[in-house]
Amino acid sequence: MGPEVIRIIAGQFKGARLKVPASARPTASLAREAIMSVIGEKIDEARVLDPMAGSGALALEALSRGAKSALLADREVLAVRVIKANVDHLKANDLATVILARQMSQFDRLLPYGPFDLIFLDPPYEEVTLPLTFLLKLAATNLAAPHALAVWEQAPKTLATLEPDKLKPWTTLSTRTWGDRAAAFLTLS
């Protein structure tokens, strides 16, 4: 059996097939469509960061819908290869940059590419410390543009444990749930 394949839902790359590395847990089409609907016009001309990209589906969906550029990173070499292949398949090399980065230990590799208007965080489901630390460091280093929007996808029970005081300067706008997945939509205040 080959790698799992998902499709871009809408926009200029609509219907394009994306490969998914075996280690990734891609955002399902229903959840991706719902996330993009919530984000709406914030996608237009956005500079996107997807630092836990997996297959790159979220950032590539945003590019398909009008984002200006995207930086996609992952800590696994195989995932980076798959993301690069997906970008090549879409002929989106002028819009997307793909790098290998081990999240926090190589955070400085992101600095030349910011600031970002739209940030997707899709960590392992029980992992809370990494995305929280990442969000706080984005704000502290000005890698998040003023009024940036972050979408933190996680298990619903994990997102329910987020304490507003620990998120500052980020503010939760809303949380949406789709079965065993949920997303918190946060803005930089």
Chain segment 75-116, per-residue pLDDT in tens: 889 999 999 999 999 999 999 999 998 766 678 888 888 899
- Among candidate residues 14, 144, 13, 83, the one with its CA nearest the CA of residue 167: 144
- pTM confidence score: 0.91
CA-to-CA distance for 107 and 111, rounded, in angstroms? 7
The string of pLDDT tens digits covering residues 49-63 is 999 898 999 999 999
How would you label 70-102 residue by residue, b for 16+ Cβ within 10 Å and e otherwise?
bbbbbbbeebbebbbbbbeebebeebbebbebe
In angstroms, rounded to a whole number, what is the distance separating the alpha carbons of residues 125 and 136? 19
Preceding peptide of 146 cis, ω within 30°? no
**Distance separating alpha carbons of residues 134 and 136, to the nearest angstrom:** 5
- Residue ranges and CATH numbers for the domains of the chain are 5-188 (3.40.50.150)
Q: Give the residue from 69, 163, 165 showing the smallest Cα distance to 117.
A: 69
pLDDT at residue 2 above 60?
A: no
